[in-house]
Amino acid sequence: MTNRRNFFKQATALAMGGLLLGKTESLSAATKAVNASTGKKNIGLQIYSLFDELYDNLPERLKQLRKMGYTNIELAGYSPDGKIHGVPIMEFKKYVDDADLVIKSTHVQPGVWEYTNSNKSQIMDYWKKTAEDHAKMGVKLLVQPGLPATRSIEEVKQVCDVFNEVGEYIKSNGMKFGYHNHDMEFARVKSGGNGAVLQFRSNDPKIYDLFLENTDPDLVFFEMDCYWTVIGQNDPVEYLQKHPTRIQALHVKDRHVLGKSGFMNFEAIFNQANENGITNFFVELEGMPQGKTQMEGVEECAKYLLKSKFVK
C-alpha cells in the first residue's frame, strides 16, 4: 500500500495532476475546558490514517473513533468539486457532528508543481474555492501537506512568497494557513542550484529553515510531523525549542503504532510541546503490518496516548 510519503512523491512526479489558534479560538478553548473538567484528553486524528477503511461505513467509523477516545479530526481527501473522498462536504460534516467529533483542520493542496508568477492566479483560485468550502464546515485551519518545486534557494523563496499571499487571503477570511512537512524539507539547497540534497554535514540552508525565515509569522504557521522530522535527520524537540510560536500543531507518528518501535521519544516531544502551549496534535498512521487493519492501529495509538502521563 502506498504510504503518505510515496503518495506525495508520486503526485509530484505527475505535477500534482496541525494547530493551535490560541485564545482566539473559542470552540477549542471551550472543548479544552470541558475535557479538563472531565479528565478527558483532546486527541486528534488525521483521517488519512484509515485509508479506504473509513469509507466502508463512514457514519459508523466516525462514531467508533469517538469511542476510542478521539475528540477531533483533521480532514484529507478534499477536492474543489466540494467533496471529501467523494462525499459532499456538508454531508460529511453532518456525520462528524453526529459522532460528537470536531473538524479542527484539513490537509489541502493545489495541483501545481512549480510556483511561478505566471501561475500564481491559478494557485490563488484554488485557495479561494478551498477556503469557501471549508468555511461552510467551520474549519479554521488549512494546511498544505506537500512540497512544491524547491530545487534552489530562489525557488524556495518563490514558494514562500506564494505562501505569504495565500496566508494573507486565508487570514482575511477568518482562517489560518499552515504547512506540514515530510523529510524532503530538510534537504539542503544552493543558490542557482538545480536539486535538493538530504545531507547532514553541509553549510547550505535547509528548505524547512528557509520556509521559517521567509514566511510571515502572522500569515503562515507550521504543523510539524515529528516522525518525518526525525527521518530527515533532525530533532523535533530542538525545532520546538527554537520556534516556540511558529510550530503550532504536531503530527504524532511512529513507524507503525505509536510507542512500539522505540524509534520516537514521544515523552520529550510532548513535554516540550506542553511547555510551548501546543494543544492540537493529530495521530497519523502509515500502513500497518500485514494482517492488521488501520482501524486496529488507530485504536492502539489512542490507547497509547490516553495512558501516557505526558499527554495532557
Q: What is the pTM of this model?
A: 0.87
> Residue 202: phi, psi to the nearest 5?
-165, 150
Residue 44 to residues 106, 280, 283: CA-CA distances in angstroms? 12, 7, 6
Using the CB atoms, write b or e for 60-83: b if 16+ within 10 Å.
ebbbbbbebbbbbbbbbbbeeeee
Q: What is the pLDDT of residues 160-198, one digit of tens each?
A: 999 999 999 999 999 999 999 999 999 999 999 777 776
Domain range 4-307, its CATH number among 3.40.50.1370, 1.10.540.10, 3.20.20.150, 3.40.50.720: 3.20.20.150
Q: What is the pLDDT of residues 211-248, one digit of tens each?
A: 999 999 999 999 999 999 999 999 999 999 999 999 99
Q: What percent of the chain has pLDDT over 90?
A: 82
- Distance in Å from the first CA to the final CA of the chain: 33
Q: What is the pLDDT of residues 126-145, one digit of tens each?
A: 999 999 999 999 999 999 99
- pLDDT for 41 equals 94
The letter for the amino acid at 120 is K
Angle (CA) 80 136 113, round 5°: 30
Reading the block at residue 268, the C-alpha cell is 520529550
Q: What is the pLDDT of residues 79-124, one digit of tens each?
A: 999 999 999 999 999 999 999 999 999 999 999 999 999 999 999 9
Nearest to 69 by CA among 45, 93, 53: 45
- pLDDT for 197 equals 72
CB atoms within 10 A of CB 285: 25
- Its sign, for the CA torsion 239, 240, 245, 250, is positive
DSSP 288: P
Residue pointed to by grid coordinates 526525525: 230
Using the CB atoms, write b or e for 42-58: b if 16+ within 10 Å.
bbbbbbbbbbeebeeeb
